Homo-oligomer: A and B are copies of this chain.
Amino acid sequence: MSRRRVTPLHRDSLAPDHCSPKLRREILGRSTYFKGLSAEALATVDERFREQHYPAGKVICREGGPARSLFFVAHGNVKLLRHSPAGDDVVVDLLPQGGLFGGLAALGLGHYPETALAHTACCVLSVSAPAFQQLLERYPGVTIEVLKSASRSLNDAREAIRQLTTSRVDARIAMALVKLGERLGEETGHGILIQVPLPQQDLAAMVGATPETVSRVMARMKREGLVDSGRQWVRILDPGGLQAMIEGRAAPKTKGA
């Protein structure tokens, strides 16, 4: 059978590190948070934001640092991390375009609760915390949208907690892949390609496992035809099979007979 082949991701087309000034307002206007606003309101919002570019891997804000701003992902992907005292990193979220982060900053908390890293090269818009607070006061509709989004994140986080405490690693990896597929995947002829560089190390940090374990589980998934993968990329071939794995009704072992 076909051995894994060359990286199917086109890195640069994925995340140009520029972000046309004209596009900026359009991107804001299309986002969940601001799409209900009038043109003037949108302009007001827009002018509060400051544009910043980050190459892949660059730190945008650091856990524990004084929280001055709130960020909006205009282009690219941002990875949110928490560190353990021992130095391990846990990936708590991977934000696509339109994601908001540093959110607690604007609400009076003093410090960033997590580190944000440019996962791909990206363009980020930032507002100062007080300015954002003013926006929320002036446009209640925005506040409600932000609240909705926070609630969804809370739901996701609690779901992750449930998974972490009740499911085994393979189920969690399957779940992570399915979610990534939904949020960042692109349907191709041969399954859903996850449109983000995804080293197994990151996957491990998302599900609370080691890279070795991820490798072993993925090897099994490949053997069973559920996914295909290579250096920093994953393609989902059989979502149904993954779903079965998530729900626990899977081949628990190599199941010889």
Query: Counting CB contacts under 8 A, is A224 at the interface?
Result: no
Nearest CB on B from A59, distance (A): 18
| Per-residue interface assignment for chain A, residues 138 to 166, with 1 indicating a CB less than 8 Å from any chain B CB and 0 otherwise | 00100110111011111101111110111
Measured CB to CB, the residues of A under 8 A from B are 82, 84-86, 88, 90, 92, 103-104, 107-109, 113-114, 136-137, 140, 143-144, 146-148, 150-155, 157-162, 164-167, 207-208, 247-248
Minimum CB distance partner of A138 in chain B: B140
Pick from B137, B157, B248: contact of A157, CB under 8 Å: B157
Query: A161 touching B162 by the CB < 8 A rule?
Result: no
25 residue pairs of the A-B complex, CB under 8 angstroms, read: A82-B161, A82-B162, A84-B167, A85-B247, A86-B166, A86-B248, A88-B165, A88-B166, A92-B158, A104-B152, A104-B154, A107-B147, A107-B148, A107-B151, A113-B155, A113-B159, A143-B144, A143-B147, A147-B147, A150-B154, A157-B161, A160-B161, A161-B161, A165-B207, A166-B208
Copies of this chain, how many?
Answer: 2
A90 to B108, CA, bound (A): 30
Q: Bound state CA distance, A144 and B153, in angstroms?
A: 17
Q: How far is the CA of A109 from the CA of B151 in the complex (A)?
A: 10
Cα separation A109 to B148 with both chains bound (whole Å): 9
Determine how close the nearest CB of chain B comes to the CB of A93; give it in whole angstroms.
8
| Chain B neighbourhood of A143, CB < 8 A | 140, 143-144, 147
Kindly list chain B residues whose C-beta atoms are within 8 Å of the C-beta of A113.
155, 158-159
Q: Which residues on B sit within 8 Å (CB–CB) of A86? A: 166, 248
Let me know if B159 and A161 touch, CB within 8 A: no
Report B-chain residues with C-beta under 8 Å of the C-beta of A167.
84
